[in-house]
Every structure is written in C-alpha cells, then in structure tokens.
Amino acid sequence: MKRYLLIFSLFFVQPINAQEVAPSPEIWSLEDCINYALENNITVKDAVLNTDLAEVDYDRAKSARLPNLFGSASQTFTSGNSIDPITSDFVSEKINSNNLGINSSITLYQGNQLNNQIEQNKLLMEQSIFQEEVEKNNIALNILETYLRALYSKESITIAENNLEASEKEVLRAKARLDAGTIALSDYTEAQSQAATNKFNVITAKNTYEQYIIDLKQLLELSPTQEIEIQTLNKDLDLINLELNKTAIYYKALQILPEVEVSDLSIAINEKELDIAKGAYKPTLSLNGSVGTGYTSINYLSFSDQYNSNFNQRLGLTLTIPIFNRNQTKSVVKTAALNIEKAQIQKQNTEKVIYKNVETAYQNAVSAQEQLLAAKSSQEAAEQSYRLAQKKYELEDLSTTDLVISQNTYTNAQQNYLQAKYLNILYNQLLQFYQGNDIKL
C-alpha cells in the first residue's frame, strides 16, 4: 500500500515542479532608479544623519542660554581634631554630619558669544540641508550616467548578436563553397575566424552590460541576489534639438545649485566664528544662587530642628574680566579672519567648477549632436554597403575578406551611432539639470 501511495504522490508532485518558472527580473525606469536611490542610498542616508546632528547641535546651542540646576548631598564621619562643617567650630571628637543643597547659575553676558553661537549653529544646520541636496544631486547624476551606459551596452549586445548570426550563416555558405571548390581554404577559415570574433564580442558585450547592472544595483543598495532589467529607451529620444544659451544656463545654475548655497553659508559661518572669537575679549557676567542645610552630631538639637535652623540661601554675581591669556584670543581671532578669506576663495572655486561643468556639458552636447547626425548617415551608408556585399557574396562575386571588411565597417558605424546617441542624451540631460529641470527620459 505504501508503494502505491509513493507512486501516487510522485505522479502529482512532478508536474507541479515542472511548472515552476523563475520570476522574471523587475524592469526599472530611470525615474524609478533615481527615486529609489534618493531614499535608500547610504551616501544620502549619511547626509540626512548629518542634518539631524546639526539640528541637535542647534538645539543644544539654544539651551546654553538657560540656567543650570544641580543638587548635592554629602555624609561625613570625622574623628580627631577638625572643624565642624556646619558650625565651623574647632572640635576634637567624632563628628557625624551631612549636607544637602541645590545650586544654579546662568550666564547673563559673555561678549554676545552665546547668541552668536546660536546663529552659527543655525547656519550650520542650513548648510547641512543644502549639503544633503548636493549628495542627492550627485547620486542622481551617477544613476543617470550608469543607466545610460547600461542602455548603451544593452543595445551593443543586440548588434553583436546580429553580427554573430550573420557571420554563422556566412560560415555555412563558405563551407558549401569550399566543398564545391569555388573558394580556397583560407577564405573559409577567415569566415570561421570572423564568426569566432563576433561570438567573443557577444560575450564581452553581455559581460559589460552585467557590470553596469552591478554598478547600478550598488547605487540603489539592492541585494546581490535581486535581478533587475532596465527599461528600453524611447526611440523618439534618438535626436534631440539643442537650442540653449550656455551663459543663461550658467547663471541659472548659480541660482539653483545647492553647492553655491553651501559656499555662501560657509562664509557666513566663518564670519560668526570671528564674532564668537572677538567675544572672548569682553567680560563675562554670571548669576549664581544656592540653597542648603545640614546636620552635625555635636549639636544637641534634633535632626529636624537643625535642618530648619541651618537652612541658608545664597545669591551672587560673578564678573570675569579677561586681562591676558597668552595671546590665545588674538590667535583665535586671526585664524577666524583667515578662514573667512579661505571660504571666499572656496566660493570662487565652486563657481569656476560650475562654469566648467556647464561649458563642458554644452560643448559636448553640441559636438554629440553633430556626431549623431554624421554617425546616422554613416550607419545608413555602411548598412547599404554591407547588404550589397552580402548579396555579392551569395552570388560568389565577393571574397570572404571583403565581406568581413564590410561587416566590420558596418559594426563600427553602428557602435559610433550608439555612442553619439547616448552621449547626446547624457549631455542634454546635464544641461536640463543645470537649469533646475528633472532628470528623465
């Protein structure tokens, strides 16, 4: 009976297993990748944490204006000659005493350092917010470049596979012609060599594509086991008209890019640091107060009576006037002034980098557009030439060498067109980014 049950179970289990199909990889668009990376990339997360830390520092700076409050308690056992801690009398016997107290102090004036520190921490918090935007923009641009490289590699696979298919057919034709004695063995081996080269190119193209997918998955912080595919590009984006003014783009970029705000805030932060440093030249005034009581064993009053009679209050002002601190304040002030100049230079450098990026993107966009038009014409001409060569080869009116040369010329034209196409898209997207527009395909 058990044998029949086993056969019965296998009969039903096997078809089920045969129907199991591996899930197809999820298809990601460029917008999907950018949105996901902005939420999950660890560089962005680190920038968000830096903003949170800056907010904590800002709250702490504001709290520095509040008074502090401390409680204290002590229990003391003394023998021999000593001074009673409560009565201050000189005694030579064992003493059991305790003290309770509450102390508080508040800074009334400190050269306006507290207010300047609060304003500086507020500027630091704002700078962290803009720095977070810088990191997000960098990730978005990295996603764009990697995504387009992957698309380029994906289309290169199609070109390589088409060439391999064509060359394998040519090998069969060459074999038939060799058997018929119409071509030499060298022609046949050349056709075989071309097919092997094309097969190698297919493997290389697939590997390159997988490498870019790995780079993309790392930017997205995806699991190594998660399989993804990228969305094929809309054919309407092959040609992009460029009607932009690079000077206008540059000035627009200066207005919207967070790098400029980070530089401006860096100057303001260092100016506040100078104000804080100069505050050390001024006196500090603080208010102090305390209440307390105590008990001693040499006093014959009861515990509660002593706590009532020894209850005391204290209120005082403390004024600290800086006279000479070995030129420490002078050095700090000078350092702060130099840091302002460095921040101003850094801003100039930031603007130079932005100008270079905009100028480079613009010139490359113009060049890529011209190259795209030339590459398109070259590809069409090379395709016609290759189709004609194939027909001649079929009619035994063309050598294998000439056919291989024609195919390689067509392949190079296809690759040049793909490169120009995606460079045109990349640099136009960069110009859109510098104008504050979304990156999208």
Domain segments of the chain: what residues? 24-64+111-282+322-434, 69-109+288-321
Residue closest to 147 by CA, chosen among 436, 429, 431, 433: 429
Identify the residue with better confidence: 262 or 14.
Answer: 262
Rounded CA separation 52/44 (Å): 13
The fold for domain 24-64+111-282+322-434 equals Outer membrane efflux proteins (OEP) (1.20.1600)
Counts of helices then strands in the chain (DSSP H, E): 10, 8
**% of residues, the chain, pLDDT over 90:** 77
Count the Cβ atoms, other than its own, within 10 Å of residue 14. 10
pLDDT mean across residues, the chain: 90
Reduce the DSSP state of residue 203 to 3 states and report it: helix
Q: How does residue 15 score in pLDDT terms, banded at 50, 70 and 90?
A: very low
Prediction pTM value: 0.86
pLDDT greater than 50 at residue 418: yes
From residue 178, alpha-carbon distances to 181, 182, 184, 396 in Å are 5, 6, 6, 12
Q: What is the pLDDT of residue 6?
A: 40
84 pLDDT band, cuts 50/70/90, is low
How far out from the chain centre does Cα 286 lie?
45
Please give the Cα distance from 394 to 362 (Å, whole number).
47
Across 246-265, average pLDDT: 96
Using 50, 70 and 90 to split pLDDT, how confident is the model at 183? confident
What is the C-alpha separation between 360 and 352, in angstroms, rounded?
Answer: 12
| pLDDT over threshold 60, residue 8 | no
414-420 average pLDDT score: 95
Task: Tell me the average pLDDT across 382-390.
Answer: 94
- Angle at the Cα of 325 (from 343 to 269), degrees rounded to 5? 20
**Can you read off the two tokens belonging to residue 354?**
């932005």
Instruction: Please give the pLDDT value at position 92.
Output: 73
Residue 41 predicted with pLDDT over 50? yes
pLDDT of residue 347: 97
Q: Is residue 129's pLDDT more than 50?
A: yes
Residue 5 has pLDDT above 80, yes or no: no
Residue 372 reports pLDDT greater than 50? yes
